Amino acid sequence: MAQIFLLALGSAVFPALLAGAAVILSRDKPARLLLAFWIGGLMTSISSGIAILVIFGEHAAALDHGSKSLSPVNLVLAGIAAILLGTLVGTKRGRALLDGWRQRRKHSRGSEKPKTDKAPWSERMLGNGSVGVAFVAGAILNLPGPFYLIALGDIGQADYSQLAELGLILFFNVIMLLMVEVPMIGYLFSPEATDRRVGQFAAWLNRNGMRIVGTIATLWGASLLGKGLRDILG
């Protein structure tokens, strides 16, 4: 359960989903957009999770690229890699290194025709404020990602009843969509106060989104590293 919770938190701050939530929260009166985005995402994610478990059945372990399918040495290496990745995207110095690397690549390809900078497709798609578009964007952005597939692999391998499997899928999705659900509930009970706070929350997401992703990656890496060392040391 703890690993599924951690994987769900990782999915909640997955860059594409985080960007979609931030774009919606930056719109005027985003309550209806949030609801459409949430319904689209929940329908897609839950139905695809159930379908994957039904199709794979006892072979759901094939989905799990996590701790159960790696040797102790590979666990240690994967943990170190995840910690390094978390450090790169989650710290100012790491992001500066990434920015410097990207700048060097641009200079090395200076002879190529420069491309026009475009906003991410999720921002362009959600920019018109349409409820239908928000529903479709939620459905697309919540197709099963790597953390969800790992969680489904864990669920499929365990000796859970069908009802328990459904409950864990629901639990995962509720946690994964917290960034949408919290402001959505706020608009339901206290729209004016929530409207004032949403701007601050959207700005906070833009400032700290990569740091959150880095923290989750670092925690996940530490978990893999710890398990690998325990297995090696006996």
pLDDT in tens, 96-142: 776 677 677 666 665 455 555 555 555 555 656 688 888 988 898 88
Whole-prediction pTM value? 0.67
Residue, of 111 and 196, whose pLDDT is higher: 196
pLDDT tens digits along 34-70: 999 999 999 999 999 999 888 876 555 455 444 455 6
Burial class (CB in 10 A: 0-12, 13-18, 19+), 177: buried
pLDDT computed for residue 65 by the predictor: 47
pLDDT tens digits along 144-189: 888 888 888 888 878 888 899 999 999 999 999 988 898 888 888 8
| Alpha carbons 124 and 116: distance in angstroms, whole number | 14
The per-type count for the chain, helices as H runs and strands as E runs, is 11, 0
Question: Per-domain residue ranges for the chain?
Answer: 2-107+122-233
| Alpha carbons 210 and 31: distance in angstroms, whole number | 25
Which residues are CB-neighbours of 94 under 8 A, at least 6 positions away? 87, 88, 214
pLDDT computed for residue 67 by the predictor: 46
Under the banding of pLDDT at 50, 70 and 90, the label for residue 224 is confident
Decide: 22 and 206 in contact? Cβ < 8 Å. Answer: yes
pLDDT computed for residue 155 by the predictor: 87
Decide: 173 and 13 in contact? Cβ < 8 Å. Answer: no
- The CA-based diameter of the chain, rounded to the nearest angstrom, is 60
Range picked from 31-35, 80-84, 166-170 for highest mean pLDDT: 166-170
